[in-house]
Amino acid sequence: QKEVEQDPGPLSVPEGAIVSLNCTYSNSAFQYFMWYRQYSRKGPELLMYTYSSGNKEDGRFTAQVDKSSKYISLFIRDSQPSDSATYLCAMSALHDMRFGAGTRLTVKP
Amino acid sequence: DGGITQSPKYLFRKEGQNVTLSCEQNLNHDAMYWYRQDPGQGLRLIYYSQIVNDFQKGDIAEGYSVSREKKESFPLTVTSAQKNPTAFYLCASNFRTSGGELFFGEGSRLTVL
């Protein structure tokens, strides 16, 4: 079993849809949870950063962490074609960071 | 503007040749990292360095070497011992006391012919 599981997709939605991206993990020591967005042939850029359990909202993006279920989510409201990218979940216990394989998202106009 | 610069962006090499990928940062970060990204797989850690003149192996260090002679620079050499070197290589950095937030460069695509 991988330490971090993420459905690779691809996921295709119409513009304006609500997108839900998810990851599960097995290491209960993870305390920091992140979502990165990666455009094709580019480096990942940090989208959301959460410490421990709870929700965090930033504009159209909401990150949720449920440590009891070892499950994290990213919701994108009113999705735009510019949101088309690969989304990577990541989690760490200080310097031990693990990444999901990434979910490729396409938002169609 | 502060950031991480990787070069070259694209690199082609013949099998058996060593290649060195450059990574420079001006964010004053203590720690620097090299990751490898392959299709369908998460980023895998090759090497990391938390301070100058010190570095640690990651999960897939075999066939790679690094140096950290300056705080700003962390070059990666892909040696001929690396069995499958064709990949997208990402350099990242952060503050040593950071909880994990990484800043990435734009990546270097290495193709071995």
Residues of A with CB below 8 A from B6's CB? 43
Sign of CA dihedral B90, A51, A8, A10: negative
Tokens 């490898």 — which residue? B36
Interface of B with A (CB under 8 A): 4, 6, 31, 40-43, 45, 48, 50, 88, 90, 92, 99-107, 109
* Mean per-residue pLDDT of chain B: 93
Rg (CA), chain A: 13
pLDDT tens column, A1-54: 678 999 888 999 999 999 999 999 999 999 999 999 999 989 999 999 998 888
Closest to A104 in 3D by CA, of A8, A5, A4: A8
pLDDT band at B96 (very low <50, low <70, confident <90, very high): confident
> CB-based contact (8 Å) between A18 and chain B?
no
Weakest mean pLDDT among A89-93, B23-27, B67-71, B106-110: A89-93
Q: Quote the CA–CA distance of B81 and B68 in Å, as a whole number.
A: 21
Average pLDDT over residues B40-64: 93
Residue B99 has pLDDT above 80, yes or no: no
Q: Which residues of B touch A45 (CB under 8 A)?
A: 104
pLDDT of residue B64: 97
Residue B2: phi and psi, rounded to 5, are: -75, 145
- Residue contact A49–B101, C-beta within 8 A: yes
Residue B79 CB burial class (10 angstroms; 0-12, 13-18, ≥19): middle
Calculate mean pLDDT across residues B30-59: 93
Percentages helix, strand, coil for chain A (3-state, rounded to 5) are 5, 60, 40
